[in-house]
Structures are given as structure tokens and as C-alpha cells.
Structure 1
Amino acid sequence: MSTKSKTVHFLADPGNGTQVSRALAKVFGVSTDAPVLLAEMEVSSSGFDLDIPETDSGYYYMVLRIDSYSLNGGSADTGNRNVTLLAVFDASAGTVSVGAQSTIACAYAFARFLRVGDDGYPAIQGETRRIGIAFAMKNNFTGTDGTISKVISSSPNGLETNSFPLFNFLSNLLYYSLTEASVYQQFVSLASPDSPARSFLGALMHLVYNPFTNVQQIYALISGQTQVFEPSLPTLDLPPHKTPVPDQWTLTIKRNDSGSRNFLISGTAFVVFDKEDKAWITNNFRAGTAFSGTHAMILNPDGSPNELSPLFGGGILGSGFGAAIDPKRETIAIGNYGWGPVDFNPETGSISVFSYDGKVQCPPNGHTNGLCRVQGMTYDKDGNLWMASIGSQKPMAPAPDPVYTFPNQNSALVVYLGGDPNRMISFDNFLDQPSPYHATFDVVIDSEGNGIVSNIGNADYGLQSSVYKFRIENDQLVYVAHWVSDYVNPRNPASVGYEQFRQVTVNAQNEIFVGGVTSSRVVKLDSSLQNVLKVFTKNVNAAWGVRMDKAGVLYVANFAQEKGRNSAIDSFDMHGPFGVTVIYNEDESTSHLMTVPTGGSGVTLANGQPLYGSQEGPLGRTFKPCYEPIMRLTSTNVDAAGNVWAMNNWKPSVYVDIKDNPGGDGVVIFVGVAEPAV
């Protein structure tokens, strides 16, 4: 640790003009080892200075345990209430606000690196790289000086989602836990019912880790109180059919800025993270049209557009589910499917390859050897690039059938050995019947180096959905095993085995999970592909993406909304909720739908226009505002700080999907909900 130090001014702000009368302040340095106490002082006012020694990581956190305070001319002790405020700051800070809002922001952003002891003091510990990502995400809510970020307080957040009012509601909950003993006691009991926490911060972290806990009851604790921090949930002006009570206690950041208003985010599909933790995101459409997009996005770890974004070149055309990162996280491959009307129908499709600093590493039209409409793809540990080639020239909905009669190719698993398109190997003999209509969609690598492949299937041609396993041996693909769907569609009992498989994933035991769109289920198979171990259907609605974090929590990206809901009269918005299904310990009884409700304002694009613009529906009716900030999802991925990035792919209006503008409008990041996987 350096002998240099810096004087930092601290301001305590519990809210509503509350002044600190007596408190214990501690500053720690963040490191990969146990946190290091750098400064400690008993304070008797809300403003104080501390000399802080420099640390190698450059990150610090302040903990302020409040013992007594004054409010409205009166003073009070906290008694047996253990209320601590928390703020994380970096070496550039001169003034640090430690208050209710900084505490909430830090608890969520640093959730995967923060543990609270029985004494109520938090310990934050982690690699500098990961802590930097969490710090950047924290700054999306509050600055070090206590100012509220424009990111959370304005579009596409603001009141377009409920995250800002939920953030303020939790800040109000901290304030009332400090000033009212009954609120503190009830909150601690409700937030941590199995093992009551010994502090507000301990109870809050229980809520962060278990966001579906006692939502209605906790909301009711202070919903009738004056909301000190606003806008807050109880004061929202919501449209009909909406409620201020959240579905769960998650905070989100929505991003819709590609870096250029000429090339908006439109139909995000898949995301991977490079060695600098930048997010590389595929983009289906040119916004406002049904045409294939010719760009991808590169976002910084906090979700802001990187200077390289939007990314062009390398033959990008309607990139979909295909994005892969090599083992060194230095090379990114993007699969081009090609969407839209007949004049945007590519004959083969391709892949585009880039270095992590944005340099094109392929011909101008991409690599096409062996490929016909690429979707899922991945690199294995040896740098082999595995790709799912759909084969059929029939575009996926909502595009019409093509006029150009390009010949189909057989659906296939294609591998570029060492990532070299001149060393291509493939397999197309699915179900002993090579066909374009198997529709090979995704591939993942298990811990033994096997490739696990999903096929959508095609009911019209009697081709069932299936999962295959392969290995590479002597530079050839060797078939290992397969499983054919046994699903019977209750709406069409004659259709057996067709459920439109999409993403496939594996757990630590190499057991296999695959999501079905038609069946709205996730099937778990043993590693031999001989037995169905479990089927998950609770809160699963057109399963497209299936992802697992390091702790084994399953995240299902649903392409459809909650079952059984109908559209409101005179509106083209489906009333959801749309969301990500979360399943703990592979136990369906724990299944919940993680949603992003509205805060009362209509969804707008990065250019400020309403999501549906000035389009008119049938009978000349103008579209009403859209109140669905998260919609049809295709995939999720977990970054190095435990944030879940959800790809908001299509809008909910069928009319708009088919006729005018099928692209979704952004990326939604659930802050701190998962165990980091990279």
C-alpha cells in the first residue's frame, strides 16, 4: 500500500434533511484479498474529512453506521436498529456522498462482491477489472457526489420503466428504517424470513439475492408514507391495467443508444463480451423498416455506446442469434442470417469476423464456405468455430417468402477448424435424412469438448425437433448421439415431436438444456442424450434463450408474454408481462418471471420518437403509446460483474411486426442478479 494519502470530504445524506449526530465512519480499500481498513473516525456531523491512503486497485468504500441523528429540530437514537450507509468511490473522488441512494445503488451494483457481516458492516472484495464494471454500473444510478445519473432518470429509463421509482422506493425504505423502529423491524423480518438479518444492509442483500421475496408486504410497509425520494412507486401515474407494486425487487438499466441515430438499435438478438468487457451485440434490422440491418453494436460495460459503435463491414447483414468469442476473447465472429423482404434475401448468408478493437478480419462479404443462413455459433477451447447453418431459404417470420428461388442447402453443423474457413468440415445427415428443413439453430460446447446442436424441425415436412452431440476426431465431425422430441402439441395432437428448439446449454455435469418455442418448455436431458431428466414449463412462454450462470441458476429468455392475457380494447399492445424466467437449483418450484414494468411513460426510441411513431393501424386508428419496456426476448448473457443482459428483440404488436417495423428497441440489463460467468 502506498504511503501517499488524499483528503476526501464526506457528506452523509440519509434523506429529508436528516442530520447525523453520532456515527462511526470507516473507509476500506477494495482488493482481491480481505478488505483493508484505511481510516476510521467517530463523527458528530453530516460533513467530515478523512485522509485516505492510496491503494493499488484505486477503489474504496465508506461505511457509516448511524447511532443518533436529528430531524425537524428533534434528536433520536437508533437504539438496537443497525442502519449503515454505504458508498463506493475511486481515487479521483474529492467529495463523496454517503446516503440512502448511494447505499441502494452500491448494494445492487456490487452484489456479487459484497457480503454483510453480523455486525452490519459490508465487505467488498474482487478483482479490479470486475469491480470497475460494477462501479460503472453504479454510476448509472448515482455519481460519487450524490447526483442522480441522467441514465436512470431519463429515457429510455426515467419513467419508461419502473427502475428509477423502484430505486427511490428502496431509498425511502432505508430512510424510514432509520427513523421508524417498526418499519426497520418489519422490513428485516420480511426481507430475510428464513434467517432474520441483523442489519438493514443485511436484509437488503437478502432482497437483492432473492428478489421475489414478500413483494406485496414490503411494498405496503411505506406505500402510504410521504415519499422522500421521488419519483417513487406509490406516486406513479400509471395507465389502466398497470400497478405500482413491482413484480420483484430488481433494478434495471435499459440502453437503446447504438452510437448513431442513423442506425438505431433494432432487434437485438445475442451478446458476447470481449477481453475489455465490451458487449458485442447482433442487430437484426434497420430501424423503421423490415430490412436486414448492416450493423452491430459495441457497448461499454456500463451499456453506453463504445466509440466503435455502430459497427459496419465484413458483410454484416441481418445478424441474428450468431455471435461468438474466441478463447482469448480477442476475436469476435458474427453470423449473418439475412431478414426482411425479398430484395434482402441473401443466397447463402455468411459470418463476419472482427478483432476486439473493431478491425475487420474477413473478406468484405464475410466468409461463406459451407454456410446457408447462420444462427447460433461458438468457439471451442482449441479455437475451432462451430456454426449452425439453417439451410432453408424460407425466411423466419415475419419476413414473407422470397421471390428469388435460390436453391436450399441442407441444414448442417459447420466447423471451421482453427477458425479457418478453408478448413471446413460439416455434418448434415440429421435423422438419416439430410434436408434443409431440419433448421439447425444453435450449438454449444460441453466440458469434454463435444458440440451439442439443436434443430428447430419442420412440421410441414414431418421433421421433428432434435438435439445432437458430436466430437471432432482426426479433423472430422463424428456423430455421438441424438435425441428426438416427444412433444405432443395439445392444439394439434397429430403433430408429434415438433416444438421449435432454439438455444441449447449445458450445466457443470454436462447435462443438456434446450428451449422450445412452440411447446413453451425447457427440456433437461442427460449427457448421453438418452433420457429426459426434467421438463420446465412454469413461467416459460416460448422459450428462445436458455442460459445458466456460474451458480447454476437458469435464465430463460421468453419470446412470448404471459399466457392467458388478451390485448386491451383499441390497443395493439399486448399486456404482458414479458420477461426472463429464473429457476434456482434446477427446481421448477422456484420458477419466477423477472419483468420490467412501466413507470407510466410510453416507450421511446433513442431519437426521442415514440416506439410506434405516427403509424396508423386498421381503420385509421393511431397507435397508442407502448408501455412495454421489455418485450420478446431471444437471449441473455451474464457479464463479469453478474449483470444479466437481456436482448429485447421484437415489439409486441403483431401488426407492426409483420407490416412495418419488426425491430426491438434496446437492451435491458438486470443489475447484479447473477453469479459472474467470465
Structure 2
Amino acid sequence: MNTASNSIAAMIMVITGVLLTMPGEVEAKNDWLKGTVQTGGTKHSKPKSKVRVTLYEATEGSPIVVGQTTSKKNGNFKLKARKNQTDSIFFVTANVGYGDEYVAILGPKLPPEVTINELTTVAAAYSMAQFYRTGEISGNAFSLQIAAMMAENIASARSGRTSEVLQKSPNADQTNSLRTVRSLSNLLVATTDNYLIRSTLMYLTETDSGERPRNTVVALANLARDPSWNSSYIYWLTKVKRVYTPVLHQEPDAWVVTVKVNDSGDDAFLFGGPANVAFDSRGYVWVANNVVQGTPNSARNIMVLKPNGKPADGGPGLPTSPISGGGILGVGWGITVTPDDHVWVGNFGWGDLKPTESPTDDDANGSTSLISPAGVPLSVPIGFFGGTLRVQAIKLDADGNVWSASFDNDKVVMYPGGDPTNPREVDFAANSAPFGIAVAPDGAVWVTNSGGLSGQHQSSVAKIILNNNGDPVVEFSHDVGETLKVIAVDSMGNAWFASQKNHTVYAYAPDGTQIGAYTGGGIYGPWGIAIDGEDNIWVSNFGPLELDNVLTQGRLSKLAGANPATRPLNTSIGTPISPPTGYTVQSAGEEVLLHDGTPLNGPDSNLPSYVPMMRQTSVQIDQAGNVWTVNNWKPKIATDVLGFDSGTIDEDGNPGGDGLIIFVGLAPPPK
């Protein structure tokens, strides 16, 4: 059934109220969806009567009407649905006034009941932000299902209340997202009550091309995608009504909604310096993890999360978090997923562990490890040894070759077809310390040579190609930057890489010509780089590497990319899009806790931390446009804007951060 047929069917359903079975479809069992439309409040709510309620099934075109009714005097409704499950998602809307629409995201199966109010609308707008670009929810079914899971992390569609995830550690008032969601809900209360507030919101959330949103939920989706635009004016609009509490007490740098996660699946193996994440075809999140929490020593586990950030708990062919074995030992930055969902990781080794290439050493940390889609180690107990020594980045090319940045012996090592018994090597100068690897659309491989973790030696960027014999050779190499870290390649083949020590992001053309060097947008000690589906650039910031430097919080930055057709209007390549602070996550006044309930800096620490977003080493974008960043290192002691001591790296050298931060719906999913 094509999109035009879907649209015509939906139109007929709306006009006639008759539910049709399209040709070629098997008529599904009718089911009832019961629910309530209400305008909210944390303690009290009011019903919305005589409101048109419509149940939709999302598609890649216009959504299909599945059922429709009108709410009663008490706000309750009951509608007959043509089907009760879908390969995509259901959502339900309530037209509460001209230009005012409430929405609740239901997922692939109809729940027994639903509540539609301002909280569920904020959850819908942010989780579906990347799928609201046409003014209605539209997109790939798999991506929509991941987005629906994230909506439940913000508000419960069944109860209409803020989710348990936001109400509890590591969120609650350890971050400002709970209060952000309630402040935005108050804004929707105000737009319903006051036409002037509603029209002002529409004006403030026009797209950069000047297109005004058709209703309030689309306005919030526009805000979710561009959260710093007119942020001060939005803040004052949120203060007009105060029926949802608690609220923000100061203006945020941007209207981002985040979900912080730190449950590894087993509190005996807490997160300790997560460094990078990779997504498999099922949306599962595989997490490289540096150290044992509370120590400077190598972790022997990696973590796996479901698409909503909860720990993977098994099932047929599915992993259970955390995972150990197969040589996993202090995984550095390198983790990558093959098309058939096998996972490669690079073992770096931390603490007093010495680098070794010895295959007989129980603590060998020069190896790579391979894990099955179900989380079963496939490598030998100390991992695969094929010329690698302390691996950082590890990547897969289109031919199945596995490329590793072998940091401690100044090599890039390629396993042809993933075979570690037949390695091919590229040697770089002594002290090059390769760190980042990226595969270009033409199959070439870019590498950043860091010059050492703290930039003791010259950094460089190089491009590697395969010769006629299938051996990797360096096409060119250029000295550039200071302490290079992660590199990524856009759809046009341009390489973007982070220069941590001089707070700069560089861009190079495919022929090795430097395009530019960029700063701003909160870039401060950049480390991680990701390219979104519009070829714009995302940067996670570590801050200064030196331990005697103060960094009160991590930050996420965004730069305009090289494609003039997809970057924001009136920007040029490298223009900062994020605010000068970057996108941050502030504390609302509660101490940051580990998942087991102990303080970030240990149970005996008298230095509480109030910094939920810490030193960042990676940024990755999932299939629904959620931006994942990692708390790799703890913050140094400082006094933040609330006047609290922000915490310190433990004196015994315990840098390991506590989990991951998810910026909901912020970026176009990579293609």
C-alpha cells in the first residue's frame, strides 16, 4: 500500500468515521483503547471534555487513522481500533484547541489505557523530534520504535506522570531534566489557556527557513532539534503557569532533555570510565569500559544496554550485561559492531598493568576481543594477538577488514576479513601513538596519530589505502594539531578530527588538503567526533587533560558541516551551532550517586560531586536521533554555579566516570 493510498484512506476515515479494510489487508481484530484527556498538574489535574481523540499508526509517509472518538465530560474516552499491534508504532492525539495538540506515544502494541496531557506531549515532541519534520510523525518503523522507548523514559503514556526513570537516581535532581520536562509542560498549559502565549511560542520556534509550526507539539519538536534558539524567551514563557512542579529556577543554556543511565546490570561491576559506545542492528548499545569503579585498574567487563538505556537482560540470541571473558581487559576507546552484530573491542590496560605482547601473560593487554551477538566471547581467554599493543580505535571496513590503532607500538594493524592470524601492518614514526580510525566512503582509512595521550610528541593525520596486493600503505600524512583523538568522515569523504590540547576541530578534504580549523560552540578539549544524517559535526569535550586543571562540567558541541544543502541556513562550514557553553547538563541540587547509591567519589569521600555530565570521550548518534555521550573521567574540585563543591578525582588516581548521558532527539540519525 503506497503513501498516497494511506493518505486517502485516512481522509475517508476522518470524514466518514468508517474504519476501512484496504485491499490486500487481512482485517484485524477490533480492540478498544480507553483513556483520559487532561490538563495537568503534579498534584491536581482537570479533564478536557469534547476533545477529538485520534489513534494513528505511523508510517514512512502520512500516518494512518486507526480509530477516532470524542472525550466525555470527565475527559474519558473509549475508541474502537482496527488493529492492536503494528510493525511500526501507534500514537494518539487530542486536539485541545486551535493550534493546540496533545500527544501520547503508545509503541507497537496498544496499552490497556492511556493518559494524554502536557507531560506525554513533551515526551512525544522530544523523542519524535527527528520524525516531526513534516509536521506529523513519519519515519522508518525500527527507528520509530527506538524513539517510542525513549518517550517512556520521559513520561508514562499509561499514567500521564513523569517517568520513574526521571524521578530516580541518577536523574531526579541530580540533573535538571526532570525540572526541564515539567517547565516545558507548564509552557503547554499556558499555550492552551492563552492565545497570545501560543502564538508567541509558534513565532519563537519557526524553522530557520521561516516555516511556522502547525501546532504546539510541532513547536516543541522544533525546539528539541534547535534547543538554544530563543532559549531566554522560552524560559520566560515557561514561568507564566506553574501547575507542574518542581521547575527550573534558572534559565538553561539550551532546552535539551536528557536521560542519564548508569546501571551496568550488576552492581558488582559498576560503570568505571565508559569510553565509547557502538550500536548494533537491534539498537542495543555496546559500551567500552576502562576501569573498575573506585580504582585506577583495568575493568574486565564491557556493558550492553537496551535501546532505552536499561541493561541488557538476555533472551533468545540476546546478551546479558555486563560481559567478561575473551581477553577483555581495560578496553580503551575501541569498540565496533559488524553488520551481523558481532562486536570487536581493543584492550588497552590501565593502572599498574604493563603493556605486553606476550600471548602467555594472563594480563596481556595488547589484544583484541571478539564477542558474539548473544554476548558470548569468541576470542581466546587472553584475546587475539596479531601485532597489536594497547589498542585504541577499532573499525570495520565494507570488505570486513578489521582496523586497529595500535597505540603503544606505533602501528595501524589490519586483520583481512577479520582474521587476526594474518595481520597486515602500517608502521608510523616512534611516539606517533595512533588513536583514531575512520573509514571513508571510498574505502580509504584515515588515522589520527596522537603523539601520546597527553600530547608529548607531534600529532599527525594520515590516509591509508590498500595497494594491488591488498597491503595497507600510507597515501599521505600531515603534521597537525596537538594530541589528536577521534576522527570521523562525512558522506563527502571529508575527515573531521579532534585536537584535544589546542581546543580545535580540524577538517581535511579527501585529497589531504586542510579545509579549516574550528573552535567555538563550547569546544573545550575536544575528544569525540560524530557525523549526523545531515553531515553536521558533533563534538564531545573532555576539557584539559592535566589533572591540576579544573573542569566543572562536560559539554557537547555542534558545528555546521561541509554540505551547504543540509547545514542550517546562513551558516558556513565550521560555524558553531551549539551555544557558547555547549550543550550541558546541570545539577538541580542533589549529589551525584553511583548506581549502588554510594557517592561518586567513594563511600568515604567528604567531597560530594554535583556534576552529572563529566569529562567526555565519545559522542554517538543512535538510529532514532538520540545523542549518547559518556562520562569517562570524574571532574576536578571546583565551585559550580549553585555554590556546591563539584567533586574531585580521587587522590589514589581514580578517574572513572559513572555512566552515559542521552540527549533525546537532538540529532538527525546517521544514514
Q: Fold match, TM over 0.5? A: yes
Q: C-alpha offsets along residues 135-177 of structure 1, whole Å, 9 cap, x if unaligned? A: 1111112222124321111100111101111001111110111
1:256 equivalenced with 2:262 (yes/no): yes
SS in 2 for 1:166: helix
1:114 equivalenced with 2:132 (yes/no): yes
1:233 equivalenced with 2:248 (yes/no): yes
The answer on whether the counterparts of 1:269 and 1:321 sit within 8 Å (CA) in structure 2 is yes
Cα deviation, residue 590, structure 1: 2.6
Gaps of 5+ in 1: 68-80, 118-122, 235-243, 392-409, 488-498, 568-573, 617-621
Q: C-alpha offsets along residues 106-125 of structure 1, whole Å, 9 cap, x if unaligned? A: 111112222454xxxxx222
Q: Which amino acid aligns with 1:63?
A: T
1:34 equivalenced with 2:46 (yes/no): no
Which residue is 2:222 aligned to? 206
Which residue is 2:601 aligned to? 612
The answer on whether the counterparts of 1:30 and 1:57 sit within 8 Å (CA) in structure 2 is no
1:286 equivalenced with 2:317 (yes/no): no
SS in 2 for 1:659: coil
Residues 51 and 461 of structure 1: is their aligned pair in 2 closer, same or farther, counting only changes over 3 Å?
closer
SS in 1 for 2:142: helix
SS in 1 for 2:281: coil
Which residue is 2:31 aligned to? 6
1:99 equivalenced with 2:99 (yes/no): no
Rounded to whole Å, the distance in 1 between the matches of 2:454 and 2:599 is: 39
Aligned counterpart in structure 1 of residue 95 of structure 2, from 42, 51, 65: 65
1:47 equivalenced with 2:23 (yes/no): no
SS in 2 for 1:22: coil
Which residue is 1:475 aligned to? 470
Cα deviation, residue 127, structure 1: 2.8
SS in 2 for 1:376: strand
Which residue is 1:304 aligned to? 310
Q: Following superposition of structure 1 onto structure 2, how do residues 174-213 of structure 1 map, counting pairs within 5 Å?
A: 174-192=188-206, 194-213=210-229
Q: Which amino acid aligns with 2:402?
A: L
The answer on whether the counterparts of 2:532 and 2:669 sit within 8 Å (CA) in structure 1 is yes
SS in 2 for 1:588: coil
Rounded to whole Å, the distance in 1 between the matches of 2:102 and 2:125 is: 10
SS in 2 for 1:321: strand
Rounded to whole Å, the distance in 1 between the matches of 2:86 and 2:169 is: 37
Which residue is 1:246 aligned to? 252
Aligned counterpart in structure 2 of residue 547 of structure 1, from 513, 516, 530: 530
Residues 583 and 325 of structure 1: is their aligned pair in 2 closer, same or farther, counting only changes over 3 Å?
same
1:659 equivalenced with 2:652 (yes/no): yes
Residues 460 and 502 of structure 1: is their aligned pair in 2 closer, same or farther, counting only changes over 3 Å?
closer
Cα deviation, residue 231, structure 1: 1.9
The answer on whether the counterparts of 1:502 and 1:516 sit within 8 Å (CA) in structure 2 is yes
Rounded to whole Å, the distance in 2 between the matches of 1:566 and 1:245 is: 27
Residues 459 and 336 of structure 1: is their aligned pair in 2 closer, same or farther, counting only changes over 3 Å?
closer
The answer on whether the counterparts of 2:70 and 2:77 sit within 8 Å (CA) in structure 1 is no
SS in 2 for 1:169: helix
Which residue is 2:564 aligned to? none
Rounded to whole Å, the distance in 1 between the matches of 2:513 and 2:61 is: 45
Q: C-alpha offsets along residues 178-222 of structure 1, whole Å, 9 cap, x if unaligned? A: 012332232222233844434222321221111001112211123
TM-align CA RMSD: 2.3
Aligned counterpart in structure 2 of residue 672 of structure 1, from 659, 665, 669: 665
Which residue is 2:391 aligned to? 374
Aligned counterpart in structure 2 of residue 603 of structure 1, from 562, 572, 592: 592
Which residue is 1:241 aligned to? none
Aligned counterpart in structure 1 of residue 552 of structure 2, from 560, 575, 596: 575
Q: Which amino acid aligns with 2:666?
A: V
Gaps of 5+ in 2: 1-24, 314-319, 357-362, 561-566, 568-572, 638-647
Residues 258 and 362 of structure 1: is their aligned pair in 2 closer, same or farther, counting only changes over 3 Å?
same
Moved more, 525-534 or 599-608: 525-534
SS in 2 for 1:594: coil
Residues 342 and 24 of structure 1: is their aligned pair in 2 closer, same or farther, counting only changes over 3 Å?
closer
Rounded to whole Å, the distance in 2 between the matches of 1:674 and 1:535 is: 20
Residues 662 and 562 of structure 1: is their aligned pair in 2 closer, same or farther, counting only changes over 3 Å?
closer
Which residue is 1:333 aligned to? 344
Q: Following superposition of structure 1 onto structure 2, how do residues 555-566 of structure 1 map, counting pairs within 5 Å?
A: 555-560=538-543
The answer on whether the counterparts of 1:322 and 1:375 sit within 8 Å (CA) in structure 2 is yes
Rounded to whole Å, the distance in 2 between the matches of 1:556 and 1:317 is: 27
Residues 566 and 600 of structure 1: is their aligned pair in 2 closer, same or farther, counting only changes over 3 Å?
farther
TM-score relative to the length of structure 1:
0.84
Rounded to whole Å, the distance in 2 between the matches of 1:516 and 1:22 is: 58
Cα deviation, residue 541, structure 1: 0.7
Which residue is 1:237 aligned to? none
Q: Which amino acid aligns with 1:40?
A: Q
Rounded to whole Å, the distance in 2 between the matches of 1:420 and 1:344 is: 23
SS in 1 for 2:40: coil
SS in 2 for 1:600: coil
Residues 659 and 605 of structure 1: is their aligned pair in 2 closer, same or farther, counting only changes over 3 Å?
same
Q: Which amino acid aligns with 1:519?
A: N
SS in 1 for 2:583: strand
Cα deviation, residue 337, structure 1: 0.4
The answer on whether the counterparts of 1:579 and 1:630 sit within 8 Å (CA) in structure 2 is yes
Aligned counterpart in structure 2 of residue 389 of structure 1, from 385, 396, 406: 406
Rounded to whole Å, the distance in 2 between the matches of 1:542 and 1:390 is: 20
Q: C-alpha offsets along residues 545-579 of structure 1, whole Å, 9 cap, x if unaligned? A: 1111111121111001799x996xxxxxx434x21
Rounded to whole Å, the distance in 2 between the matches of 1:468 and 1:169 is: 48
Runs of 4+ in 1 over 4 A off after TM superposition: 342-348, 458-463
Rounded to whole Å, the distance in 2 between the matches of 1:3 and 1:103 is: 28
SS in 1 for 2:182: helix
Rounded to whole Å, the distance in 1 between the matches of 2:627 and 2:525 is: 19
**Identical pairs, percent:** 30
Rounded to whole Å, the distance in 1 between the matches of 2:455 and 2:120 is: 58
Rounded to whole Å, the distance in 1 between the matches of 2:169 and 2:455 is: 46
Aligned counterpart in structure 1 of residue 231 of structure 2, from 212, 215, 233: 215
